[in-house]
A = this chain, B = another copy of it.
């Protein structure tokens, strides 16, 4: 029997969810909470397999509760259940390692499926949530092209600037005079239409040179 903790502040909704979940005879709601704090307290007294948490709750919200539960009860699987598919919430939840992020408008089946999937180590995301979050996650992965008119030497200098070196340090590392480094830097500023080394450093990082 799968023991589920249901944390949701609106009693009506909670009753509804409970009924929905218990349609499946392998699952049983053995604990109910009005807010995050209560959920944590309950977990300290009872053993649950899965916690279903609403994001928006008084006193302690779902994200906070998830954070606490994660660290205190590592075996407990957590499902976030909410009406909002706010990107930031989803990201926060995923970072905490929850086993699912479901919208309340989903069908009964999918909630039951998610509960069972969570226990098998799965991660359930509703399709529309996944579609929204994925681009944001992949953003960090994109590669950017750097100005091709830069010579190898200039790239080297740009890279150094991106590491925060001073002209003197660069001159030493590259075996050049400080004057040359300055001149080169001016060249780069010209080509990239930037103003100072700080902007160059930003450019270098954003273009994955460092």
Contact = CB atoms under 8 A, between A and B. Distances in A.
A14 B30 CA distance: 45
Interface size grouping (class) on chain A:
35 or more
A124 B140 CA distance: 21
Contacts of A163: 202
A87 interface: no
Interface of A: 91, 94-95, 99-100, 114, 117, 120-128, 130-131, 134, 137-138, 140-141, 143, 161-164, 166, 194-202, 205-206
Given A122-B130, A124-B127, A201-B202, 6 more contacts: A100-B127, A122-B126, A125-B130, A164-B196, A166-B195, A201-B201
Q: Sort A-B residue pairs by CB-CB distance and give the 5 closest, nearest first.
A: A122-B127, A123-B131, A140-B140, A164-B199, A123-B130
